[in-house]
């Protein structure tokens, strides 16, 4: 019985540690999710400039990778979810301003 408890508690502990809401996601995870959301929105807002999500993502990722001294960004899953929700709800006119959308302040 003690062996069973030991082995059944270990997976639960690992699940808790990996799903901890305050844990910061990697910069690559955050930027990948933000680029995906931005591109989905930009294709509908500017179909002539961004003909497809793939084209948009390739263009944005190339620009990010070629930027010198690109700061590392970090956010928790909760912060990222709020940012992605804000991007989805943004008006087209305010999407490409000099400031990130509301909820995405961690991108500064």
For residue range 7-54, list pLDDT tens digits in order. 333 333 333 334 455 789 998 899 899 999 999 999 988 888 888 999
- Quick check: is 86 in a domain? yes
Distance CA 18, CA 74 (A): 16
The whole-number pLDDT of residue 82 equals 95
Q: Which two tokens stand for residue 35?
A: 């680029």
- Quick check: is 34 in a domain? yes
- Our count of domains for the chain comes to 1
- Quick check: is 12 in a domain? no
- Quick check: is 55 in a domain? yes
Q: How far is CA 62 from CA 3, 59, 66, in A?
A: 51, 5, 6
Residue 88 sits in which domain range? Answer: 24-65+73-107
- Quick check: is 7 in a domain? no
- Quick check: is 37 in a domain? yes
What mean pLDDT, rounded, does the chain reach? 78
Q: How far apart are the first and last CA of the chain?
A: 52
- Quick check: is 5 in a domain? no
């Amino acid at each position: 019985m003690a062996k069973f408890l030991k082995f059944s508690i270990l997976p639960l502990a690992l699940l808790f540690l990996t799903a901890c809401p305050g844990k910061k996601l990697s910069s690559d995870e955050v930027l990948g999710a933000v680029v995906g959301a931005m591109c989905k929105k930009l294709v509908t807002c500017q179909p002539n400039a961004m003909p497809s999500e793939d084209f948009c993502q390739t263009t944005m990722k190339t620009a990010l990778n070629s930027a010198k001294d690109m700061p590392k960004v970090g956010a928790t899953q909760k912060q990222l979810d709020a940012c992605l929700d804000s991007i989805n709800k943004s008006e087209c006119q305010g999407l490409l301003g000099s400031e990130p959308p509301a909820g995405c302040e961690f991108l500064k």
